Amino acid sequence: MSDILVLGAFVSFLIFLLIRKHRKYAALLGWTFMILNLMSEIPSLFREGNFLYPVMALLSLPFLAITAERLIQNDPTILQFSRAAAIATIIYIPFAFIPLLHDTLIAIVVGQAFTLITALGHNPQLFSWDVIAENGFYNQIILGCTGILAIAMLLGVALSAEKLSIRQALTAFLFIVPTIWVLNLFRVSIVFIAVSNTWFGSFPDPRPDAIGDANFFWAHNVFAEALAIVVMLLLAWGLCRIIPGLAGFARELLGVYWDRVRGVGQALQRALSR
């Protein structure tokens, strides 16, 4: 089902980018497929001890309602936001569904991460083409470990800008891709070292059905995820320096959702005070 939803988002956003007539409905369909896919993954995310994405999935429901309302009204800010999502989807999906691209990207990350872990003074073993092992810890590198999603998201934001010059587009590309690639290699390597060396062996495990220690939970799901959010915000700030119009777009986008949430909150407050 997840693959069908992802492909549905891909086709919908492709139509949105290519066909101007009724594009708001194509964008709305694309957002709907994306959020349904996120919702469908909640059970597996909870089993993995990942709490960030389930929270995002729950918040995505009011987000979809506001987005749908503003798309129907042809809100230019939400249309640009949808363009960013569409571009990101078009970039990411081929790596998810084309085996040659998928496997090649993972193999490159495995090879470079293996080299970096070794350079940091450790002795990993290449258990298989996509699994690195050390001290009894076997870490399979999947597409989510390659940084391609973050690259696609930020490229989508950059390329969605109005009146984007070729120089700005090229500068944004050179800023986003190498930076995320290098930082992601360090993320993968440090998480691997942290888990294989049991840095967080004494930390409590908040997962009720967890088996074994909490090393991976704290290294990957807490510290690495939190740091990734900070890095993405810093990179977004850097993009605003390269493409000044993105700063205004960000303020307008936050304003759209904040004003609608505040309006609903005030309406509920008035209803409860009666």
SS3 of 73-89: CCCHHHHHHHHHHHHHH
Q: Average pLDDT in the 72-94 region? A: 95
Write down the residue that tokens 């790596």 correspond to. Answer: 95
The pLDDT, as a whole number, for residue 46 is: 62
The pLDDT, as a whole number, for residue 261 is: 82
Residue % of the chain over a pLDDT of 70: 92
Residue 272 in any domain: the answer is no
The pLDDT, as a whole number, for residue 149 is: 95
| Closest among 118, 110, 74 to 256, alpha carbons compared | 74
The pLDDT, as a whole number, for residue 20 is: 83
The pLDDT, as a whole number, for residue 49 is: 58
Residues 6+ away with beta carbon under 8 Å from 208: none
Residue 12 in any domain: the answer is no
Scanning the chain, the segments in alpha helix (DSSP H) are 2-18, 23-40, 42-47, 52-72, 76-97, 99-119, 148-159, 166-196, 215-216, 225-242, 245-273
Rounded to an integer, what distance in angstroms lies between the CA atom of residue 34 and that of residue 243? Answer: 27
Residue 174 in any domain: the answer is yes
**pLDDT tens digits, residue range 164-207?**
999 999 999 999 999 999 999 999 999 999 989 888 877 777 76
Q: Average pLDDT in the 100-129 region? A: 95
Residue 50 in any domain: the answer is no
Higher-pLDDT residue of 210 and 89 is 89
**Average predicted confidence (pLDDT) for the chain:** 89
The pLDDT, as a whole number, for residue 209 is: 62
HSE value, Cβ hemisphere, 13 Å, CA-based, for 42: 11
The pLDDT, as a whole number, for residue 47 is: 62
Neighbour count for residue 188 (Cβ, 10 Å): 25
The pLDDT, as a whole number, for residue 208 is: 62
Domains in the chain, number: 1
Q: Is the pLDDT of residue 213 over 70?
A: no
The pLDDT, as a whole number, for residue 51 is: 64
The full 3-state SS of 28-75, as one line of letters, equals: HHHHHHHHHHHHHCHHHHHHCCCCHHHHHHHHHHHHHHHHHHHHHCCC
The pLDDT, as a whole number, for residue 242 is: 96
Residue 74 in any domain: the answer is no
Residue 173 in any domain: the answer is yes
Residue 128 in any domain: the answer is yes
Q: Give the phi and the psi of residue 136 in degrees, each rounded to 5.
A: 80, 0
Give the pTM: 0.90
The pLDDT, as a whole number, for residue 48 is: 60
Q: Average pLDDT in the 68-84 region? A: 94
The model's confidence at residue 159, banded by pLDDT at 50, 70 and 90, is very high
Rounded to an integer, what distance in angstroms lies between the CA atom of residue 87 and that of residue 151? Answer: 11
**pLDDT tens digits, residue range 1-52?**
578 899 999 999 999 999 988 899 999 999 999 999 888 877 766 666 566 6
Q: Is the pLDDT of residue 212 over 60?
A: no
Residue 1 in any domain: the answer is no
Q: What is the dihedral of CA 181, 114, 194, 142, to 10 degrees?
A: 60
Rounded to an integer, what distance in angstroms lies between the CA atom of residue 27 and that of residue 73? Answer: 13
Domain span holding position 223 = 98-243
